[in-house]
Chain A
Amino acid sequence: MQYHTPPSFEEASRIAASASGTTRFLAGGTDVLVQLRSDLVTPDDLIDVKHIPGVKEIARQEDGGWRIGVAVAGAEMTEHPDLGRDWPGIVEGMDLIGSTQIQGRATLVGNLCNGSPAADGVPALVAAGASVTVTGPNGARDVAVADIPTGPGKTCLEKGEVISALNIPARGENGGDAYLRFIPRTEMDIAVVGCAVNLRVDGDTITEARVVLGAVAPTIRAVQACADALIGTTLDDAALEALDKAARAACEPIDDKRGTVEFRTDVAGVLARRAAKIAYARAKGEQS
């Protein structure tokens, strides 16, 4: 295995493009090193992106949005004084991944690139309408976070392409987001079901909404029917029931060691309701 520490994303991309064997990018390493240690994936070329300037920065953009470096660890997001005020759902999604120790290393972009449908960091990003900048042999392009995963363990990134930044839109007025997941223990598990809700209110009425489910389909899934169930309502019981029903209808989960089809479907509805209540309270400024 060759270990590289390129000084720029262009150089990182060049190394990856010219590599002949298995390539992995190393940021937090909390997935890559697990695969390495268990002899699941031994990359021929391991490209550590942490020596590239700016990868550890969390920067507010002129439009009020955020640009998050690809090597920003979860703990750094949680500790940031302002990011969590804008996007508490994104920050809590990231914060739920693994232990304190994992939080010291794991990154949102790594969570995205791992391609797991159960990734805790991703649903809230999709709900927020976040995008990533991808640097490749043909220059840079922006891709919606929602479009990156294409199946379990798979992404749309091509050979030589590397994510070089994460872009989160401006929060805007009267918005709120939330992420909840279900795990059997209180910590340290992979989500059996995850749900992010991002919405905006006008007074008591929801005017915009996005609902994204995790671990109930081959990829993280944004569910328009769930959003439709919320928009125009005051999150009354009827809206919550419609949301629950739409969330359950959107599930195409699998039976596995972590949960059954029936369980995942039921709990998707439960989490959608609970996350919507939190996001709604946050949008109205009633809860942080």
Chain B
Amino acid sequence: MSKIHVTTKVNGDEVEYLCEPRETLLDCLRDHLDLTGAKEGCGTGDCGACSVTMDGRLVCSCLVLGAEAQGKEIATIEGMAEDGALHPLQRKFIEHAALQCGICTPGILVAAKSLLEKNPDPTETEMRYWLAGNLCRCTGYDKIIRAVMDAAAEMREAS
């Protein structure tokens, strides 16, 4: 089995890794780049815990091959806080107690950020459907939705 050399950009930094053809982008982020913020909850694209964006598009990194990341721009939870300051979504998640165990939190934050970039003023229903692929087993989603709504309002006010 020969390995594939991949050059890609992760959170703005150019990185390189060698991967097996069968390894997923999630495997490569976690095992080759030590970015363990994205989690594997299912490996089948059903839970969203591995959410990242690739060229700005929200994807499950468990359903992307490491080799496919060649020449792409990947954004993960590790790149969300900038210059030591939390993103409004991150702040609001803490403020609203929108996480209990926190395993789904990185994926949900990445997904919610992607929503607000596309739609700064989503309805509760739009939010719930956008996040339907991000399973949370602890919270019943209530406080997550409230945190996203509050962050969206704050971001709209700031812009």
- Measuring CB to CB, which residues of chain A are less than 8 angstroms from any residue of chain B? 1-3, 26, 29-30, 33-34, 36-38, 42, 46, 48, 50, 73, 75, 98-102, 104-105, 186-188
Instruction: Tell whether, in the assembled complex, residue A101 and residue B45 are in contact, meaning their CB atoms are under 8 Å apart.
Output: yes
B63 near A29 with CB under 8 A, answer yes
Q: How far is the CB of B13 from chain A (nearest CB, A)?
A: 22
Is A105 a contact of B59 with CB atoms below 8 Å? yes
Q: Determine if B15 is an interface residue (Cβ-Cβ < 8 Å).
A: no
Minimum distance in angstroms from B50 CB to a CB of chain A: 9
Least CB distance from B31 to A in Å reads 15
Judge whether A186 and B21 touch: CB under 8 Å. no
Cβ–Cβ < 8 Å partners of B45 in chain A: 30, 33-34, 98-99, 101-102
The answer to whether B22 and A100 touch across the interface, beta carbons within 8 angstroms, is no
- Inter-chain CA distance A281–B51, complex, in Å, is 38
- For A186, the chain B residues whose CB sits under 8 A away are 129, 132
Query: Is there contact, CB below 8 Å, between A34 and B63?
Result: yes
Check B60–A34 contact: CB distance below 8 A.
no
Q: From residue A37, how far is it (CB to closest CB) to chain B in Å?
A: 5
Number of interface residues of B (CB under 8 A): 31
Q: Is B106 part of the contact surface with A, judged by Cβ < 8 Å?
A: no
Please tell me which one of the listed residues B54, B58, B111, B133 contacts residue A187 in the complex, with CB atoms under 8 A apart: B133
Given contacts A29-B63, A33-B65, A38-B43, contact A102 B133 (CB under 8 A): yes
- Chain A nearest CB, measured from B32 CB (Å): 16
Nearest 10 Cβ contacts at the A-B interface:
A99-B133, A187-B132, A3-B21, A104-B57, A101-B60, A104-B59, A37-B43, A33-B63, A1-B21, A34-B44
Q: CB within 8 Å of A: which residues of B?
A: 1, 4, 21-22, 24, 43-46, 48, 51, 54, 57-60, 62-65, 67-68, 111, 114-115, 129-134
Residue from A1, A29, A98, A104 having most chain B Cβ neighbours under 10 A: A104
9 contacts between A and B (CB under 8 A): A3-B67, A29-B63, A37-B44, A99-B60, A100-B111, A100-B114, A101-B59, A101-B111, A105-B60
Q: Chain A nearest CB: distance from B9 CB in Å?
A: 18
